[in-house]
Amino acid sequence: MPAKKASKKPAKAAKAPKKLRSVPFWIGFDLGGTKMMASVLDANYNVLGSARKSTNGSDGAAKGRNKIVKAIHEAIAEAGVNPKGIQGIGIGCPGLVNPEKGILIFAPNLGWSNMALRKLLQSEFKAPVAVLNDVDAGTYGEYALGAGKGARSLLGVFPGTGVGAGFVYNGQIIMGRAISAMELGNILLPGTHIGSPVFGTVTLEDLTSRLALASQAGLACYRGQLPDLDKKTEGALRSIRSKSLANAFRSGEDAAMVMFRNSIRYLGMGVATVVNLLAPDRITLGGGLVEELPGLYLNLLKEEVDRYAIPELAKGVKYSLAKLGGQAVAAGAVAWMRHEKE
C-alpha cells in the first residue's frame, strides 16, 4: 500500500504588530539611590507607561548610563506610543547637578560624578533634556501640580536615604547659576561621631535620615532593645527600611520612640533655619518615612519648627503632605522643562 502522506497543517498567520499611538509625550525620569524609574507622561501628566530598574550605584557609572537609556526605551514600549512623539526628557538626580550644562556633578549615594546626562540622552533620543536635582524636581512637581499648588513659595522636605530639600519661589527653583542648591541635609551642627568627616560636627542628615534611624535601630537590635525588629531583620542595615522602622515606632518600644523624637527634633532645627532665611508660605513633607508616619512627621515637625524659628516668621506657615507620591520627581522634572520653554 502506498504510504500515507503527512497532512500539512496550515501555517498560523503572523500577528500584526500592535499599532503605536501617535501622541505627544514626555519622559520623566527619577534616578534614585536605590531604584530608577522612567515614566511616559502625556500633556496632562497622566502616566501612559513606566519601567523600573535597581540602580546599584556600586556597579559603576557606565552600567548606570546603560540602565537609564534602557529603562526609557522600555517605558516607551510599555506605553505603546510612537517614539517619534517624544517632546522632551526631564530627569531628577540624587546629588549636585549643573542644570545649565545638564551634568550630574556628584551623587554621593551612588559614587557617580561628572555624568553628562543631557549629552547622553539627547544623542540617544533626539529630544530636549532637563537635568535637575531630584528633590528640586519633586518640590517643583508639588508646587505646580500637587500640595503646593497656588503657593507663592514652597519648601519641600524629603527625609529618605539622606535628607533632601527644594525651594520654589514665585515659580522659580532656588539654585545657583550653575549648580543646584538647598542641601539641607548637609547643614553642620555641633557634635561628633566616629564617622564624622570633620571632627566636632555632624550633618543634619547624620541625625535625621532613614539611614541614620536604621543605623541607630541596628544598634538597638544588638542591645536587645528592639526585639521584634531584630527578629524580622536580624539588625541588618540594608534590611531596615522605612516600613520596618515605622512598625518599630508603632510598637511603642522606648528605643524607637526616643530615636524618632530626637530625629524629628533635629529636623525641626534644620527646617527652622530655612524658615528664618526664606519665610516660605508652605512646607510640604514627603519621602518614605513621612509616608509611613504622616501624622507624626506633620505634627511634630511643626511643633519643633515653632520652637526654633523666629515666631513672626513661623506663624502662618501651612504644612502639608506631598500628594504626587512616587511620580513627584518624574512629573516635576517634566513640569519644570515645560515651564522653562514657555
Statement to judge: residues 260 and 309 lie in one domain: yes
pLDDT of residue 197: 77
Report which residue type is found at 41: L
Instruction: Locate 153 and state its grid cell.
Output: 513659595
Domains contained in the chain, number: 2
Q: Phi/psi at 188 (nearest 5 deg)? A: -90, 135
Helices (H) and strands (E) in the chain, counts: 12, 15
User: 267 and 337 share a domain?
Assistant: no
Cell 539611590 sits on residue = 33
The pLDDT-based confidence of 169 (bands split at 50, 70, 90) is very high
Instruction: List, for residues 100-159, the tens digit of each pLDDT value.
Output: 999 999 998 899 999 999 999 999 999 999 999 999 999 999 999 999 999 999 999 999
- Do 222 and 75 fall into the same domain? no
**Could you read off the pLDDT of 188-242 as tens digits, one per residue?**
998 888 777 788 899 999 999 999 999 999 999 999 999 999 999 999 998 999 9
| Cα 191 versus chain centre, distance | 28
Per-residue confidence at 7, pLDDT binned at 50, 70, 90? low
Whether residue 305 sits in one domain with residue 194: yes
CA distance 53 to 59: 13
Examine residue 13 and state whether it is found in any structural domain, yes or no: no
Q: Could you tell me the maximum CA-CA distance found in the chain, to the nearest angstrom?
A: 107
| Domain identity same for 62 and 207 | no
Predicted pLDDT of residue 191: 86
How far apart CA 120 and CA 68 sit, in angstroms, is 10
Return the beta strands (E) in the chain as ranges. 25-31, 35-41, 47-54, 86-93, 96-98, 103-107, 112-116, 129-133, 153-159, 163-169, 172-173, 188-190, 201-203, 282-285, 318-321
pLDDT at 29: 98
Alpha-carbon dihedral of residues 264, 266, 268, 274, nearest 10 degrees? -140
Tell me: the pLDDT tens digits for 78-91?
999 999 999 999 99
pLDDT at residue 195, rounded to an integer: 78
Would 7 be classed as within a structural domain?
no
Task: Say if residues 27 and 40 touch (Cβ distance below 8 Å).
Answer: yes
pLDDT value of position 198: 80
CA distance 191 to 200: 5
Q: Cell match 519643633: residue? A: 304
Amino acid at 326: G
Does residue 273 share a domain with residue 165? yes
In a domain, 260, yes or no: yes
Domain that residue 30 falls in: 25-140+327-341
The pLDDT value recorded for residue 88 is 98
What pLDDT shows up at residue 73? 98
Distance CA 275, CA 148 (A): 16
270 burial via Cβ count (<10 Å: 0-12, 13-18, 19+): buried
- 306-337, pLDDT tens digit by residue? 999 999 999 999 999 999 998 999 999 999 99
- Same structural domain, 80 and 212: no
Same domain, 292 and 165: yes
- CATH for 79: 3.30.420.40
> Does 38 score more than 80 pLDDT?
yes
Q: Is the domain of 60 the same as that of 164?
A: no
107 with 155, same domain? Answer: no
39 and 121 both lie in a single domain: yes
In 92-241, which residue ranges form alpha helices assigned H by DSSP? 117-125, 134-145, 204-208, 210-222, 227-233
pLDDT band at 171 (very low <50, low <70, confident <90, very high): very high
> Tell me, what's the pLDDT at 19?
82
Amino acid letter for position 158: F
- pLDDT at residue 13 tops 80: no
The number of CA neighbours under 13 Å toward the Cβ of 228 is 13
- The DSSP symbol for 323 reads S
The torsion region of residue 214 among left (phi > 0), alpha (psi -120 to 50) and beta comes to alpha
Confirm whether 10 is domain-assigned.
no
pTM of the model: 0.89
281 and 207, same structural domain? yes
pLDDT of residue 317: 97
Percentage, residues of the chain above pLDDT 70 = 95
* Contacts of 98 by beta carbon, 8 Å cutoff, 6+ apart: 105, 131, 178, 179, 180
CA distance 281 to 143: 11
Question: Is the pLDDT score of 15 beyond 60?
Answer: no
For residue 11, name the pLDDT band (cuts at 50, 70, 90).
Answer: low
**Full DSSP string of 167-187:** EEETTEE---SSS----GGG-
| 16 within a domain of the structure (yes/no) | no
Q: Phi and psi dihedrals of 316, rounded to 5? A: 90, -10
Residue pLDDT, tens place only, 246-298 = 999 999 999 999 999 999 999 999 999 999 999 999 999 999 899 999 999 99
Question: Which residue do the cell numbers 556628584 mark?
Answer: 106
User: Any idea what the Cα angle at residue 37 is, between residues 32 and 43, rounded to 5°?
Assistant: 125
d(CA 327, CA 312): 35
Find how far residue 182's CA is from the centre of its chain: 15
Residues with Cβ < 8 Å from 194, sequence gap 6 or more?
Answer: none
